[in-house]
Amino acid sequence: MFVVRIILLLLSFLIPLTTYAQGPGRRKAKKPVTVKVPVELAEQVIRDSESVRQAMSRVPGANAAILAKHLDAQLIDLNFDGRPEYLVTDDCSPGEYEWWCNCEMKQCFGVGIYRRTRDGFEMLLGGMAAPLRTSTNGYRDLWSQIITGPNSVSETVFKFDGRHYVVASSKEIKIN
Residues 145, 155 contacting (CB under 8 angstroms): yes
Mean pLDDT of 86-96: 73
pLDDT number for residue 12: 45
Residue 126 to residue 118: CA distance in whole angstroms:
20
The residue type of 16 is P
Count how many Cα atoms sit within 13 Å of the Cα of residue 116 in the half-sphere of its side chain: 14
pLDDT number for residue 49: 87
First to last CA, the chain: 10
pTM: 0.74
Q: Would you state the torsion angle of the CA atoms of residues 82, 85, 91, 92, taken in this order, to the nearest 10 degrees?
A: -140
Residues 124, 113 contacting (CB under 8 angstroms): yes
